[in-house]
């Protein structure tokens, strides 16, 4: 993301072939950066770790405006990135409970191999590319207009499911810690309903509605995980 945002931006055209889901990209990319930095354990203090990644997002936005790249400082882009980082850090301590230690060790064993990182990354990239493209053509055929944001959001969600499923299969992980599955399902259903209302009913202000919707989904999944474990 940092490299892409620091390339000179060409003059905008009136009718681009593909409208980039720019705000969602900021959310996802900085969220992934925050999640990986958090999981690395380089900084033990969670607040300090979050501040470092949050500062990176600000510096990224500031420098692309300061340099002669034909790019302006965008508050919406910055908020999107910061929300992605906040969403990632909301999962801090998700596997810290004593009853989850076996699950934590199983996941760590899978991720200890660089080959598994390549497999999981490849699966995620392939799924998000093909599902986003498929939904883009479907939505454009239905509405007659580009719908890059919902297409990319659907691709991200399906890609995440595919990566988690692959992680489960690669490690032969036994998930027997979900004690309150009904509560989990209820929270997930409510989360998807709230996310849909945000995406389609909340007016666009200083925060992109699709970013808010994805943010709500991440937080809802975190609460569902807490209720189930």
Cα separation, 141 vs 135, whole angstroms: 10
Mean pLDDT of the chain: 87
Task: At 11, list the tokens.
Answer: 């003059």
Residue 201's contacts (CB-CB under 8 Å, 6 or more residues apart) are none
pLDDT at residue 177 in the model? 62
Lowest mean pLDDT among 23-27, 93-97, 132-136: 93-97
The least confident of 42-46, 72-76, 112-116 is 72-76
Per-residue pLDDT band for 35 (boundaries 50, 70, 90) equals very high
In the chain, what are the domain boundaries?
1-8+21-92, 96-176, 178-229
Cβ pair 224, 187 in contact under 8 A: yes
């080959």: which residue's tokens? 115
- Spell out the SS3 assignment of 114-163: HHHHHHHHHHHHHHHHHHHHHHHHHHHHHHCCCCHHHHHHHHHHHHHHHH
pLDDT at 12: 60
Tokens for 150?
């919902």
| Other beta carbons within 10 Å of 107 | 16
pTM strictly above 0.95: no
Task: Tell me the DSSP string of 54-110.
Answer: HHHHHHHHHHHHHSSSS----HHHHHHHHHHHHHHHTTTTTT-SGGGHHHHHHHHHH
């Amino acid at each position: 993301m940092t490299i892409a945002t620091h390339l000179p931006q060409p003059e905008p055209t009136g009718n681009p072939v593909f409208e980039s889901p720019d705000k969602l990209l900021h959310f996802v990319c900085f969220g992934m950066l925050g999640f990986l930095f958090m999981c690395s354990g380089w900084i033990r203090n969670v607040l300090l770790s979050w501040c470092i990644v949050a500062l990176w997002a600000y510096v990224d936005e500031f420098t692309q405006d300061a340099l002669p790249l034909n790019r302006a400082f965008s508050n919406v882009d910055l908020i999107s990135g910061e929300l992605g980082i906040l969403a990632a850090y909301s999962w801090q301590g998700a596997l810290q409970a004593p009853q989850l230690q076996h699950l934590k060790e199983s996941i760590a064993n899978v991720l200890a191999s660089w080959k598994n990182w390549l497999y999981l990354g490849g699966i995620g990239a392939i799924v998000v590319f093909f599902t986003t493209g498929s939904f883009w053509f479907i939505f454009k055929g239905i509405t007659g207009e580009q719908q890059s944001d919902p297409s990319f959001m659907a691709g991200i969600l399906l890609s995440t499911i595919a990566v988690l499923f692959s992680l489960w299969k690669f490690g032969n992980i036994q998930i027997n810690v979900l004690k309150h599955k009904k509560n989990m399902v209820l929270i997930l259903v409510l989360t998807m309903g709230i996310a849909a209302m945000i995406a389609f009913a909340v007016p666009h202000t200083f925060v992109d509605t699709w970013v808010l919707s994805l943010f709500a989904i991440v937080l809802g999944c975190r609460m569902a995980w807490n209720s189930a474990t």
